[in-house]
Chain A
Amino acid sequence: MTELAEGSTRVRVRRNLSFWNQEFQRIHSPILRYGFSVASVGIALGVAFALQYYQFRDVELPVFIVAIAFTTWYAGNGPSVLAVLLSSACFDYFFVEPLYSLEISSRDLPYFLIFVAWAGIVASFSAVRRRIEDNLRLARDHLQVEVEQRRHREDEIRKLNLELSKRAVELEVTNKELESFSYSVSHDLRAPLRHMIGYSELLQKQASSLLDEKSQRFIRTILESAKRMGNLIDDLLAFSRIGRAQTKKTRVDLKQLVEEVVAEIGQDTRGRDIAWKVGALPVCYGDRSMLRLVVVNLVSNAAKFTRTRKPAEIEIGCVDLNEEEVEVFVRDNGAGFDMQYVDKLFGVFQRLHLPEQFEGTGIGLATVQRIIHRHGGQVRGEGAVDHGATFYFSLPKNVQDTAERTANAS
């Protein structure tokens, strides 16, 4: 690098001075730097002699100072000190009386000292300038590296973005597919079922007198199974709709909501001995119809699984979890469940009881979970066989910042 710099700089100097500066200042070899110092003082000496020869008086001093400045500029501090010493010596030896001796007459001493001081000042100024330049160059290099890195990172981000948008498109396609899938399920799967049920019933009506008891039971089974399948499909579709439907969040008075649901379910369970207990409930922020579905599912489950109890006890209340969340629970003294299967509780079509014991498709708790998750909450269940069950769901509290946070997020 240094050879190249030295060899080619002369050619380029006229073309690009700044490039020359840059190349030359990269010289790090001490021999070259001190050599530069000696050479420039030598050249200055030669120039001074030439000027003296052409009868120019008292210009040796600036010539040496120029040599010192050049040395400081391009070769650094050490060489500049050397240049000061050398040019002092040369000046003293060749141009200060007595000539050709290093002695200085007392008359010339101030003159000489001023030269040394002047040389020192020029050298130090140049050194300061050089240091600043070095710092600047360092900073520039640093910046350049940073810019390079940033460009690199930007490239990477762009690449990731591209990938992300590709993924998003893929996801959209998958979603569309899924949607059209559930759409065809809704249309095409229900139609044959409706026919199965319809024609079975028509058959039952038309041929009931011709069929024996066993055949009639077969038709009944066909009908029941088809109806059950219809219910399963309907439940599954409703469940998938919850995932896709837009949530319209408002303030929801849970107490009012629960009382409404309890009144409604109380209508259906008239004649049963149920002790309802509704505690204080908070005002939440969420989609009212969805939250209503949660409460309906949990409360009707509680009513269902306490069918064998006299009296049945169903309690709805809440626990203040922390500043941000509130946990609502529905507790019953019904059939309960084995905690061993607690993981299955919220799965789609997962049931922990036989259909003869308790009817249902097994979609209720899955729906509850999906709705609560969409509201940013959690669900859990606790229970023991024959000792009842408690289901909890947590919701963000209705504080103003919840609304703001949601607004900011969207």
Chain B
Amino acid sequence: MTTLGRILVVEDDPNDVELTLTALADYNLANEVVVTRDGQQALDYLCCRGEFSTRSAGNPAVMLLDLKLPKVGGLEVLQQIKSDERLKMIPVVVLTSSHEEKDMMRSYSLGVNAYVVKPVDFHEFVNAVKELGIFWGVINEPPPGSMEKLR
């Protein structure tokens, strides 16, 4: 475990952002986290355009995507990523409050890599986020072209 992938968090709720970061911080995973607050911003980040036009190239090792987002919804973001040749290899984890079968079906049919329902219980939430961070950021070998940083 010498490398640590960059984690892109797409989440509109500031409290959820803080809780997610807190959970990741517990495991020293928070350093390489990029937070975008809506679907448009997330796509801008991925495509290195707009406010992110000057960022260093490379895809994140994993993307934690909320479904209910302002401007461009999570499912639409997912669809755009999975239909883009340069982006479709990015592992996308949907991290949402929605238990709805409809959302789940739609996400999987769009090619999501994992679907995680945010647990109401804080401990469970922290554990879920932590495990996601560890698995996708540390254990999983990200696809070639991802940004990596020596730990």
Give residues in A with beta carbon < 8 Å to B.
183, 186-188, 190-191, 193-195, 197-202, 226-227, 230-231, 233-234, 237-238, 241, 245
Contacts and interface: CB of A to CB of B under 8 A. Distances in A.
Contacts of B99: 186, 234, 237-238, 241
B125 A198 contact: yes
B97 A186 contact: yes
A197 B120 contact: yes
Interface in B1-32: 13, 15-16, 19, 22
Contacts of A197: 120-122
Interface of B: 13, 15-16, 19, 22, 67-68, 96-101, 118-123, 125
A199 B14 CA distance: 13
B100 A186 contact: yes
A227 B124 CA distance: 12
B118 A245 contact: no
A194 B19 contact: yes
Contacts of A199: 15, 19
A191 B98 contact: no
A183 B15 contact: no
- Contact residues of B: prevailing secondary structure: loop
Contacts of B120: 190, 193-194, 197, 226-227, 230-231, 233-234
- Contact residues of A: prevailing secondary structure: helix
Contacts of A233: 120
B50 to A, nearest CB: 27
B16 A194 contact: yes
Given A230-B120, A230-B121, A191 B22 contact: no
A190 B100 CA distance: 13
B54 to A, nearest CB: 33
Given A187-B68, A202-B22, A194 B122 contact: yes
A233 B101 CA distance: 16
Contacts of B97: 186-188, 190-191, 194
B39 to A, nearest CB: 15
A194 B118 contact: yes
Contacts of B15: 191, 195, 198-199
15 contacts: A183-B100, A186-B97, A187-B68, A187-B96, A190-B118, A191-B16, A195-B13, A195-B15, A198-B122, A199-B15, A200-B122, A201-B123, A230-B120, A234-B120, A237-B99
A197 B15 CA distance: 11
A226 B122 CA distance: 11
